[in-house]
Amino acid sequence: MNVTAKLTGILVILLVGVVLGLQTAERGISKVSGLTEQQPQTFYIKKMDEGKMEIAVMGKQVQTANPEKMVNYMSNMGLTMGSTIKSGAKTFVDWVGNFFAP
């Protein structure tokens, strides 16, 4: 298997483990201290009125209104990045293929 794929997989697993560990530790601390009114600090999503959502990661608010706009922005950015990588790989393969052309 490719080393880059292995490294990426390990990093994703470690990131998920860290987030789950932080959430578990936070729940344990809130049980001991008894401060349940406080919102979670690691990761929390709260639905507001009229389809709006409030998302906070590590205590910082990421987004409050119009989630469709952010999804479309991220989708467009991903599509642009994918097409750039695809065209770059095609150019590279064509360039290497020219060395072996008769």
pLDDT value of residue 36: 60
Domain ranges of the chain: 1-37, 39-88
Task: Give the list of residues 6+ apart from residue 54 with CB closer than 8 angstroms, or none.
Answer: 45, 46, 47, 48, 61, 63, 64
Q: List, in order, residues 6 or more apart from 61 with CB less than 8 Å away.
A: 54, 55
Q: Which residue has the higher pLDDT, 48 or 37?
A: 48
3-state secondary structure of 47: strand
2 versus 36: the higher-pLDDT residue is 2
pLDDT tens-digit profile of 4-39? 888 999 999 998 898 888 888 877 877 777 666 655
What is d(CA 42, CA 59) in angstroms, rounded to the nearest whole number?
A: 6
